[in-house]
Amino acid sequence: MKKIALTCIIDDDPIYIFGTQRLMKIANFCESFMIFNNGKNAIETLEKIILAEGTLPDLILLDLNMPIMDGWEFLDEFIKIPCKQKITIYIITSSIDNADIEKAKTYSNVSNYILKPVTVDGLKAIMEEV
């Protein structure tokens, strides 16, 4: 399995972020991280990087329920930005609502919908897909 160069985590839960980063290190998952606590900060920063043709994440792990701008709002804004690089997006959430699961399927740039918590085996499965 090839190690991912840069992973972006967009989530407002610091405990989840800390735990996920630790698991990623254990699984030898990625080289580095970008962390955002809400979709607004993430979209503003990623748009600047895209426009400047800078280094983008290979993978985004996106929570749905966040303050300021939630995961759905992030996705709606993200798909409007023309980007040459393919960025794989996984929704990682605690929502078991079937409406959320079905809505995720309507976004062509969302690869999968995964329930929290993330596991080492789950990360390895993501690595194989990416």
State the average pLDDT over residues 4-17: 95
Q: Cis (ω within 30 of 0) for the bond into 117? A: yes
Q: What is the pTM of this model?
A: 0.94
**High-pLDDT (> 90) share of the chain, %:** 78
70-95 pLDDT tens trace: 999 999 999 999 988 889 999 999 98
For the chain, the average pLDDT equals 93
DSSP 57: P
Q: Is the pLDDT of residue 66 over 80?
A: yes
Q: Is the pLDDT of residue 1 over 70?
A: no
| pLDDT score, position 122 | 87
Sequence ranges of the domains in the chain: 4-129
Domain range 4-129, CATH architecture: 3-Layer(aba) Sandwich (3.40)
